[in-house]
Structures are given as C-alpha cells and as structure tokens.
Structure 1
C-alpha cells in the first residue's frame, strides 16, 4: 500500500497524467493487419489501443502480434495481413483504469507496459496514462519529499 504522503505527492500533477484520446493513435478492431502494421511502424509505438465503432476500448495490439501473423511454418507471407483484422489477433485482456486515478494500479500496470488506457464507466476510451508522465511525478517525489517533509528513521541502520 502506498502511504498517504507519497500518494499525495505523486498525484500533485494528476491533471497532466491523461493524454486525451484525440492525441492518441488508435486502431479499429475492423482494420486490417496491414493497416495496423503501417500505423504502428509510422508512429513508432510498439503497442496501441483498439476501439470499436462506438469508441469503446476493446483491447490493444502490438507490433509483435501483427508481425507474427506474417510467418507461415517455412516462409514469410505478408499477404496474410490483408485478409486478417486487428480484432482477430489483438489482446482483449488488456487492463484499463478509470478516473479518479488509482496510483497504485497505474504503477503496477506500468511495470509491464508503456501506457495504461483510461476509460469511462461505459468503457469509452478517454486517453492514456504513460510511463513517462508517471515517472515525472516519481522524479518530483524523489527530489522534493525531504524538502517538504521532515523524515525520521524508524530503525537504525548498521
């Protein structure tokens, strides 16, 4: 459990955490894998959110998931990407969060992923919280904690 003081400091810039949906590259579950490959390689991200026609988060897809579909047992077959959709190969188990932010859940998810999708109660995609934004708060905490609080050692160190 994160202590109240640390949580308070980590959340001081909470308003900067969310990168709104309009500024996030996404794919539709109906897009072809060829389109997904183009989007992923052009934006330089390894993973992006996948939405349905109503704007709800359906999952995420990674560059690795797309590229792996091009391989047959003995050859490379990029033509397969034209006939397959993002919805067929995406990760439907991707975790998401809602606002107000649960900083502990965000930190746990960012251990394994570069971002965490943010949705409303109807799973409509609102944006993402990135590892970079959270690390800015961790950096702030590391530099400012002792200037704002008097810390006392509970146990003597040898």
Structure 2
C-alpha cells in the first residue's frame, strides 16, 4: 500500500498519465503485416496496439514479431509481409487497465514488466496508453515536491524527543 502522502501527490498527476488514443499509433487486426511493419518503422516504435473494427484492443504487434516472420532457416524474405495479416502474428496475451477501476499500485506493478499498458473503458474500447515513462515523470514530481506539501520526520528522530 502506498503512503497516503505519496498517493496524494501521485493522484495529482494521474490525469496526465494517459496518452490519449488520438495520439497513439496503432494498426487494425486485418491490416496486412507490411502495414504494421511500415508504421513501426516510420514511427520508430518497438510495439503498438492492435485494434478490431470496434476500436477494442485485441493484441500488440512489435517489430521483432514481424521480423521473426521474415526469417527462414537460410534467408530473410519479405513474402510474409504481404501474405500475413497482423492478427496472424500479434501477441494476444497482454495486460490492459481501466484508469477508473485499476488502483495506482496495481498500475505501477504492471508497469514493472510492461513499457506501456493499453487503457480501455468498461466496454473494452481503446482509450490510450499508460506508459512507464509517464509514471516515472510522476514519481519525479513526487520526489521534488513532497517536502513542499508535507513535513517528513524520520521515525528515528521521533524516538529521540
């Protein structure tokens, strides 16, 4: 459980955690693999969300997943890029969160193993991303501002009084 003081300061910044869907690069599950390859390469992202026709997150796709399909035992071929669809290659097991329902501590624990978490609403519709980077920025805010709002006295000093 978070310290109440830290929880309060992080909650002050929690609204800024979400990078809205309108600013996120994504692909549709029925896109050809070459489309995902182009998006990932041009945007210089390692991994992006995959959405279905109802804007629900159904997977994640990475450059590594795509290049793995291009490798044969003896060669590299681009044939898979036009033969396969994103849904044929995408990661289907991944964590998502709902910003209203998922506690801050749970978000932090999930970000230990994920560079980002897709954020969905109650119907599973993609709302945006929560990134480890945004959480680190919030932690930086706490570190630099906790003394401005709270008087912190080490417990060892209390015993001396």
For the criterion TM > 0.5, the same-fold answer is yes
Residue in structure 2 matched with residue 3 of structure 1 by the alignment: 3
Judging by fraction of residues, say which structure has more helix: 2
C-alpha contact 1:11 1:137 (8 A) present in aligned 2: no
Pairwise CA distance, 1:122: 1.3
1:129 aligned residue: 130
Using the TM superposition, give the Cα deviation of residue 95 of structure 1 relative to its aligned residue in structure 2, in angstroms. 0.5
The alignment partner of 1:111 has SS state of helix
Cα distance in 2 for partners of 1:112, 1:46 equals: 15
TM-score by length of 1: 0.92
CA deviation after TM superposition for structure 1 residue 84, in Å: 0.8
Cα shift readout 1:33-58 (whole Å, capped 9, x = no counterpart): 11111000101110100000010110
CA distance in 2: counterparts of 1:139 and 1:125, whole angstroms = 27
Pairing 1:37–2:37 present = yes
Q: Secondary structure at the match of 1:150?
A: coil
SS at match of 2:113: coil
Residue deviations 1:89-116, cap 9 Å, x none? 1111111110225211221222232221
What's the secondary structure of 1:19's corresponding residue? strand
Give structure 2 stretches of 5+ with no counterpart: none
- Residues 4-153 of structure 1: pairs in structure 2 closer than 5 A: 4-100=4-100, 101-153=102-154
- Count of paired positions: 156
3-state secondary structure, aligned to 2:70 = coil
